[in-house]
Structure 1
């Protein structure tokens, strides 16, 4: 009887081990998916902030160009 119980216990333990391995793999896949989604969200937020910063720089350059154009026009009018 002992010999027949041992292979059954071994087989049962192998099945349990396989099930635990599958569950751990599924859990890791879900965690990887959550991390990838978080990375994508973070990247989108970073992109938006960079775009806003660039737009601010462009607006500042536009304002500077308008000021320079105004003073250049005044200089040209005065020089004429």
Structure 2
């Protein structure tokens, strides 16, 4: 019986230690979760503050303007949005291809004219003496 009591006491101590370790781990996890929640709340609050700041800037920008002036600004931006071509779309690929072709044509023209210039316009010391007389 005495041996059994010692075994029971040992098992009880080990269980208590295990429970204490588990409690410690849970406390640390709760603290980490609380810190993460606090950080997320701060970020969310900053996003809201930034949004309000932008709203105030917008109001400040339009304060004192007539409806027609605001409408003119809106129309300009609306046209830009309507004409927007997303990256990677077929339209963007076509536009890029057209720009590339035009760029190559311009480069070819510049190259052609730069090759022609030295033949047409020579400095006086490059002209042979026979042609001067």
Question: Between Structure 1 and Structure 2, which shows a larger proportion of helix residues?
Answer: 1
Deviations 1:52-71 (A, max 9, x none): 01100000000000111121
Q: Which residue of 2 aligns with 1:11?
A: 2
User: Where does the alignment leave 5 or more consecutive residues of structure 2 unmatched?
Assistant: 67-133
TM-score by length of 1: 0.77
The reply on whether 1:34 has 2:34 as its aligned counterpart is: no
Query: What CA deviation, in whole Å up to 9, does each residue of 1:1-55 have, x standing for no partner?
Result: xxxxxxxxx1110111011000100000001100110111111111111110110
In the superposition, the TM-score normalised over structure 2's length comes to 0.48
The partner residue of 2:38 within 23, 37, 47 is: 47
Partners of 2:9 and 2:31 in 1: CA distance:
33
Larger radius of gyration: 2
CA RMSD of aligned residues (A): 1.5
**Stretches (4+) displaced over 6 A:** none
Q: Which runs of 5+ in 1 are unaligned?
A: 1-9, 76-80
Higher RCO (C-alpha under 8 Å, 6+ residues apart): 2
Q: Which residue of 2 aligns with 1:25?
A: 16
In 1, the alpha carbon distance for the partners of 2:50 and 2:13 equals: 55
